[in-house]
Chains A and B, each alone.
Chain A
Amino acid sequence: MLNQTSNSKAWLVANVLALLVAGPVMAQNDRVFPIGGSPVSGPITNVTKQGITIKVGGTDQNIPANRISKIMFSGDPPELTRGREFVMDAQYDKAIEEFKKVDVSKIKRDVIIADLAFYRFYSEAQLGLTGQGNRGQAAANLINFVRQHGESWHHFAAARTLGDLAMSEGKFEGAKNFYKQLEKSTATENRIASVYLIGAVDLQMGNLDEALNAFDKVIGARVNSPEEARLQNLAKAGRVAVLGSKGDTEAAISESNALIEALNPSDTELAARIYNARGRAMTKAGQHDAAIRAYLHTHLMFSNTPDAHVESLTALVQLWPQVGKPDRAGQMRQVLQQSYPGWGG
Chain B
Amino acid sequence: MQSSIVRTIAKGPSQNRRIFLPVSARTNAPRVAPPVLFTAVMVISSVVAPCRVVAGEPAELFLQRLRSAEYFDVALGYLDALESYPGVSGELLQAKHLERAQVYFEAAGATRIPAEQEKYFSAGEQDLRQFIDENPSHPRVSEARIILGTRQLIHAMVLSRNPKQDDEIKEKTRKEYLAAAQTFDKIIDTLKEELAAMPTGPINESENPGLTERREQYRGEYMQAQLQAAHSRRLAAETYSKPAEQGKELLEEALKRLLDFSEKYRGYPPGTRAMLYAGQIQQLLGDQKAALDSYQRVQEQVDDDRLRSLKIEAAIGTVELRLAEDPPAYQLAIDRGQPWVDGARPNEKRTNEVQRLRLELAKAYLEKVAKSEKPKDKNDATKAARQLLNDARKIPGAHVEETRSLLATLGVEPEEQTVEVERPGSLNEALTAAKTLIESSDQLALSQQVLNRQINEPGADKEDIETQLDEVGKEITQQREKASTLLQMGLAMLAPDDDTTLVNQARNLFAFNLFRQNLFHEAAVVGEFLAQAAPGDPLGLSGGMIALNAYQTLARDAEDSHRDEVMRGLSEIGNYLVRHWPDDPGVAGARGALIAVALNQQRWDEARKHLEATPDDSPDKANFLRIMGTLTWNSYLLKLQENPEDPEAAELLPVAAKDLRAGLKPLQPDQVSQRELDTSLILTKVLIRQDKQEEAMRVLENPSFGALTLADKGSQDFQFSALTTALQVFIGQMTSADANADELTGKANEIVNRMQKVAGDNPQSKARMIDNFKLLARDIRQQMDSAPPAKRKTLVTAFQTLMTGLADAAQDDRSTLMMVGQTFAQIGEGAMTKPEPPATGQAFDLLQSGREMLMKVLANEQDPEERVKLHFQLGRMARLQGDFANAIKEFAEVVRIKQTMLTAQEEAALTYQQWGIASADTPARAARAHEMAILGSRPDDKGKNQIWGWNTISKRTGNNPNFRDAFFNARYHLALNRYLQGKALRDEKKMRDAITFTSDLLRFFPDLGSPEWRTKFDRLLRDVQGSLGEPVNGLEALQTVTSSSS
Contact = CB atoms under 8 A, between A and B. Distances in A.
A260 interface: yes
B635 A2 contact: yes
B608 A1 contact: yes
Given A4-B655, A290-B81, A300-B66, A338 B536 contact: yes
B710 to A, nearest CB: 29
Interface string A318-345: 0000001001101000110110000000
Interface in B38-91: 53, 55-58, 61-62, 65-66, 69, 71, 74, 77-78, 81, 85-87
B661 to A, nearest CB: 15
A2 B652 CA distance: 7
A224 interface: no
B58 A301 contact: yes
A330 B652 CA distance: 50
Given A257-B86, A261-B56, A2 B500 contact: no
B617 interface: no
Contacts of A293: 74, 77-78, 81
B608 A260 contact: no
B300 interface: no
A3 B605 contact: yes
A38 interface: no
B651 A300 contact: no
B635 to A, nearest CB: 6
B536 A337 contact: yes
A296 interface: yes
Contacts of A257: 85-86
A16 interface: no
Contact of B651 (A5, A261, A263, A334): A5
A59 interface: no
Given A1-B632, A265-B58, A296-B66, A334 B652 contact: no
B500 A330 contact: yes
A292 interface: yes
B69 A300 contact: yes
Contacts of A266: 53
A8 B651 contact: yes
A90 B189 CA distance: 55
A335 B532 CA distance: 12
Contacts of A261: 55-57, 86-87
A6 to B, nearest CB: 9
Nearest to A296: B74
A222 to B, nearest CB: 24
A278 B449 CA distance: 65
B205 interface: no
Contact of A3 (B74, B85, B604): B604
B12 interface: no
B74 A260 contact: no
- Chain B CB within 10 A, most for which of A1, A258, A300: A1
A257 B84 CA distance: 9
B56 A334 contact: no
Contacts of B651: 4-5, 8
Contacts of B608: 1, 3
Interface string A257-271: 110111111100000
B61 A260 contact: no
B172 to A, nearest CB: 32
A5 B632 CA distance: 11
Given A261-B87, A263-B56, A337-B536, A296 B71 contact: yes
A44 B605 CA distance: 39
Nearest to A132: B582
A2 B66 contact: no
Interface residues of A, number: 32
Nearest to A265: B58
Nearest to B54: A265
A289 interface: yes
Nearest to A5: B648
A31 interface: no
Contacts of A330: 500
A82 interface: no
A337 to B, nearest CB: 5
A2 B53 contact: no
A135 B85 CA distance: 38
A190 B65 CA distance: 36
A300 B500 contact: no
Contact of A260 (B57, B500, B635): B57
Contact of B87 (A2, A260, A292): A260
B580 interface: yes
Given A260-B56, A327-B500, A334-B537, A301 B61 contact: yes
Interface in A39-73: none
Contacts of B328: none
A171 interface: no
Contacts of A1: 604, 608, 632, 635, 652, 655
Interface in A1-34: 1-5, 8-9
B306 to A, nearest CB: 38
Interface string B937-961: 0000000000000000000000000
A328 B78 CA distance: 18
B473 interface: no
Interface string B608-629: 1000000000000000000000
A193 B71 CA distance: 37
- Chain B CB within 10 A, most for which of A2, A265, A289, A324: A2
A297 interface: yes
B643 to A, nearest CB: 13
Interface in B580-639: 580, 604-605, 608, 632, 635
Interface in A232-268: 257-258, 260-266
B424 interface: no
A1 B608 CA distance: 9
A5 B652 contact: yes
A260 B86 contact: yes
Contacts of A337: 536
A194 B471 CA distance: 79
Contacts of A3: 604-605, 608
B397 interface: no
A330 B632 CA distance: 47
Given A265-B58, A334-B537, A258 B86 contact: yes
A280 to B, nearest CB: 17
Contacts of A296: 62, 65-66, 71, 74
B535 interface: yes
A285 B636 CA distance: 71
A289 B77 contact: yes
Contacts of B66: 296, 300
A324 B496 CA distance: 11
A184 to B, nearest CB: 36
B56 A301 contact: no
Interface in B532-552: 534-537
Nearest to A271: B58
B56 A338 contact: no
A301 B81 CA distance: 19
A183 to B, nearest CB: 33
Contacts of B655: 1, 4
B55 A264 contact: yes
Contacts of A5: 648, 651-652
A296 B57 CA distance: 13
A57 to B, nearest CB: 42
A5 B635 CA distance: 11
Contacts of B77: 289, 293
Contacts of A301: 58, 61-62, 65
Contacts of A335: 535
9 contacts: A1-B655, A4-B655, A260-B86, A265-B53, A292-B74, A296-B74, A300-B65, A300-B69, A301-B61
Q: Which 10 A-B pairs have the closest CB atoms?
A: A261-B86, A300-B65, A334-B536, A5-B648, A257-B86, A327-B500, A261-B87, A265-B58, A3-B605, A338-B536
Given A1-B635, A3-B605, A5-B648, 4 more contacts: A8-B648, A261-B57, A292-B74, A300-B62
